[in-house]
Amino acid sequence: KILANTVFLGKDIIYMTECHSTNEIALAKIKDGSVKEGSIILTDKQTRGKGQRGNRWYSEPGMNLTFSLVLAPVFISPQDQFDLNRMVSKAVKDALKLYAEGVMVKWPNDIVHETQGKLGGILIENSLTQSRIETSVVGIGLNLNQVDFAFPGPTSLAVLSGSQVDKWDVLNDILIEIEKRYIQVKKGKTDKLREAYWQDLYRREEWAAYEDDSGTFEGMVTGITEEGRLVIQKKGGKVNQYAFKEVKFL
């Protein structure tokens, strides 16, 4: 299948029926110089899919979308690397709007339905120098047509919309949106991206339950710092900033 609606993303698709992890394959190919920017590694089945926080990513073979995109975002400095997360999660969210309502971004870069659970996730692995991001592997795993899950929590586009979706259509729509955001940031319009990410955020300015080092608490997400930390106002208490892994959504 030809993905024709982008300028440079996904023009080169490396498809594997099975692999351990598309992120690992992309990293290896960057190392040996056999991929260029915009290439994607796509598979039907991962035997050792990687998730955030060192977790595994499980996905029913053949049912879902599992791929990694190779970027060279040299115009983004290491201290701004969270902009890549913003860019990709906002883009995925916008693409999925075409298939289901109520899709949101949960900090830092989970794709969730506002009430029905997690649709997918993003794992970005950057290679940095002092001054810039040399390469970035953007791994995206999304539940499309899977309707049975081994444990509660996840959902899929098919569950939400009641019908099966075409994997290639979704892939194409996602690449179009990522490319748009990528060009936006390349042109220096980072503020627009940051605002757009914030506007779409799950539980933005709502009271909800969280857990940190000191236990569980009621809090309200009131912002995201430039570096991507989550700002939470504790009910009757102070405002805290959290890095990834320092706070849990309950």
Q: Give the range of 98-106, 115-123, 170-178, 206-214 binding ligand BTN by CB under 6 A.
A: 115-123
- State which residue, 109 or 240, has the beta carbon closest to ligand BTN: 109
* 156-162, long-range: CB < 8 A, 24+ apart: 156/63, 156/64, 156/119, 157/96, 157/99, 157/100, 157/119, 159/116, 160/99, 160/100, 160/101, 160/102, 160/113, 160/116, 160/119, 161/99, 161/100
DSSP H stretches of helix in 74-205 = 82-96, 157-161, 167-186, 190-199
- Structure tokens, 61: 């073979």
Measured from the CB atom, the residue of 22 and 172 that comes closer to ligand BTN is 22
Q: Which of 9, 10, 14, 23 binds ligand BTN (CB under 6 A)?
A: 23
* Stretch of 9-17, 42-50, 194-202, 204-212 lying at the interface with ligand BTN (CB under 6 A): 42-50
145/240 with CB nearer ligand BTN:
145
Determine if 51 is a binding residue for ligand BTN (CB under 6 A).
Answer: yes
Q: Which is nearer to ligand BTN, 49 or 228 (CB)?
A: 49
Q: Is 11 exposed, middle or buried (0-12, 13-18, 19+ CB in 10 A)?
A: middle
Question: From CA 233, how far away is CA 172, in angstroms rounded?
Answer: 39
Q: How far is the CB of 248 from ligand BTN (least distance, A)?
A: 14
Does 85 contact ligand BTN by CB under 6 A? no
Residues that bind ligand BTN (CB under 6 A): 21-23, 46, 49-52, 55, 57, 66-68, 110, 121-123, 139-141
